Amino acid sequence: MDKFKAFLGRNKVFLYALFVAALTGIYFHAILFELPSLETLREYRPTLSTKLYDINGQLVTEYYTERRTWVPLYKMRMDLQNAVLSIEDHRFFNHYGISFYGIIRAAYQNFLHRRISAGGSTITQQLAKTAFLTQERTITRKLKEVILAVQLERNYSKQEILEMYLNQVYLGHGAYGVEQAAMLYFQKHAWELTLSESAALAGIIRYPSYYSLFNHPERNINRKEVVLDQMEKYKYITPVEKNAALRDPLLVVKAGGPRLSSQAPYFVEYVRLQVEQEYGPEVLYNAGWKIYSTLDLQMQTTAEIVINEFMAGFDKKRFEIKKSTDLPQAQVALLALDPKTGQIRAMVGGRDFRKSQFNRTYQAYRQPGSAFKPIIYTAALEKGYTATTILEDNPLVYVNDGRDWRLKANSTSYLQTLPPAWLKDPLKVWVPENYKREYHGRVLLRKALELSMNMCAIRTIEEIGPTTVVEYAHRLGIESPLTNTLSLALGSSDVTMIEMVRAYNAFANRGILTKPYAIIRIEDTKGRVIKENFTEEQDVLSEQTAYIITNLLKGVIKEGTGIYANYFIKRPAAGKTGTTNNFSDAWFIGYTPQLTCGVWVGYDDKRSLGDRNSGGALSCPIWTQFIKRALKGEPDIDFQVPSTGVTFVNIDPNTGYLATPYSKKVYNEAYLSGTEPKTALLSPTTSDYLPEVKEEEDAGGF
């Protein structure tokens, strides 16, 4: 025991040193264990923002955690590279990742301030810190930074390190990398920067917020001068070049640059959800992919402007009526599709995305009202009906006999024949009505559709059967559950806007149903195609039927409830209004050969929009102004008539028969070949003439 104590006494210093060395070794081993592997260093992949482009290649927005666009070193202006080297690490090409002079200087500064305030980091160390380590200021993190810097120098060339650094570095206001910063501050690429702009960017690196070009331009100017002095000192520029750069003003774009995130926000979110669901958020926000979409940004902007203009007037009018500022905001949805492809050209899901991200083009289920009637009459056309089929527009009452609804009367006499209590019970009696409760007797199918007569639609669906109409609705792309009852004639089943616009798009596309889609293709950073979408087509109607219903819907605009559009659009167009009970939903869905568009206006809580605020009064004007502006400069082409299967004949709209020399009015009507009238009334009696029908408001689903 005494010998052991004597041994300890003689070797105390040695043993203490050995102990410290062991602890130091363990400490460094622990640090090395926490460092990224060499494989990780060799496969360095920065987080890159994924870019969304419109149909014309215009940038719509970026999805990112760090907003960055990678640019190879050879594309960066040499003045930019030299400016960064001069101010951040002028010995970069002469050290092996660390600068002992810088470390000593930083240690001295830290000693004076009694805290870790100065870094003394080389460009390689800065890259190690920003790309692989946390931003904490500790001795341990500093040691990791030094070790990583040496490893980076062993695995990469100086040019590769400089390229990684210039793409990794943070330059303020959410911009990572010199390319993103150049676009943010100057709307230029990194290879387009002047010497003055290059020096200004290099000066930001040390303290991005303090030297901000947006918030503190005077500080940045002083910092730019320091950078230029350093560049002259290290022979990167001449005194003449420096003085010229000092005189060169910085043309900084408006603070924040273009607000990409505010463009087409509902469409941007629509795409985000699809990509994130298929590939995950990690890929979407970090992979640097390019998403080429179907959106037409110019059309989208037009849609948003038109909606804002019109709804500002609506809000003002509602305020004047209600005399209250505490009114909820009526919502709007607009969806525009390319008829031939189904590509989404414009999407507005609400008034303000910041307040509500609920996308009413596909997430809201609403009753379409009379906008559903073209589907009914499409089914009827293929069951033998024609544009001149005579329908009865008389009052109707249906009584529930416990199994089904049956027609009780087709006149107002039901008021005398039914118990008064029944009239108040919707489970026993259904009394549909026309708008204004006016009825016209015998009318042509064309006129019934143009003026949206409810009684005619109900009698039609009663004759061909609700099941048939449901079948046609599903055939036309409506997947929502539909009630297999007569009330379907009034659009009583909830559907989405995208379903309704898709159905009308089949009319515009000559009976071919297309699936709406937003993404054309996705490419990775190397231009390889990750995903590509193509138009999905399905023949659901004959070309002839599609043309006949289109021809009828042209009449809605020319002489019917959509006549507002006829005053402003001087091109062939077809469409239909829709209004639901209590004016809670106002629709207009219409199309030209180039574009199909649906507009909906309503409150999320389904309160009334106000008396007479129908689809013709609210949605049709928005649709009209959008189509007028969106298609400005496009040729005025008409819908193509099928080469066979459609026959035109002159008819007398007052009788529905062939026109005669004595007809006061003549209309050239289209028919499915073989269904056109073959006879004329040469000596019509008074009873042969159809009653004259005055212009009717949109008769929604009451």
CB 305 within 8 A of CB 628: no
Give the residue from 231, 217, 97 showing the smallest Cα distance to 157: 97
Q: What is the pLDDT of residue 691?
A: 83
Q: What is the pLDDT of residue 688?
A: 79
CA dist 425 → 400, 415, 489, 493 (Å):
11, 14, 21, 21
CATH number given to 68-260: 1.10.3810.10
528-540 burial: b if 16+ Cβ within 10 Å, else e = eebeebeeeeeeb
Is 88 tagged catalytic?
yes
Q: What is the pLDDT of residue 435?
A: 78
Cβ-Cβ contacts under 8 Å for 235 (sequence gap 6 or more)? none
CA-based diameter of the chain, in Å? Answer: 144
Is 480 tagged catalytic?
no
Write the DSSP string, 284-336: HHHB--EEEES--HHHHHHHHHHHHHHHHHHHHHHHHHH--S--PPPEEEEEE
What is the Cα–Cα distance from 138 to 30, expressed in whole angstroms?
Answer: 15
Q: What is the pLDDT of residue 577?
A: 98
What is the Cα–Cα distance from 167 to 186, expressed in whole angstroms?
Answer: 17
Give the residue from 613, 373, 388, 385 showing the smallest Cα distance to 504: 373
Give the residue from 480, 458, 445, 483 showing the smallest Cα distance to 702: 458
Give the residue from 144, 162, 155 showing the smallest Cα distance to 88: 162
- Catalytic entry in 62, 66, 88, 145: 88
pTM (2 decimals)?
0.84
- Catalytic entry in 99, 196, 370, 619: 370
Cβ-Cβ contacts under 8 Å for 632 (sequence gap 6 or more)? none
Q: What is the pLDDT of residue 700?
A: 44
Helix axes 297-322, 619-630, angle to 10 degrees: 150
CB 669 within 8 A of CB 649: yes
- Tokens 């987080």, located at residue: 47
Give the residue from 118, 117, 258, 252 showing the smallest Cα distance to 174: 258
State the pairing for strand pair 397-400/429-430: antiparallel
Tell me the one-letter amino acid at 95: H
> If the chain, 702 residues long, is cut into consecutive pieces of 10 residues, what is the mean pLDDT of each piece?
58 56 51 56 78 97 90 96 96 86 62 53 87 61 74 90 94 93 95 97 95 95 97 97 95 64 91 96 93 98 97 84 71 98 98 95 98 98 98 88 61 59 71 86 97 96 97 98 94 98 99 99 96 97 99 98 96 97 95 99 95 93 98 96 98 95 94 96 81 61 34
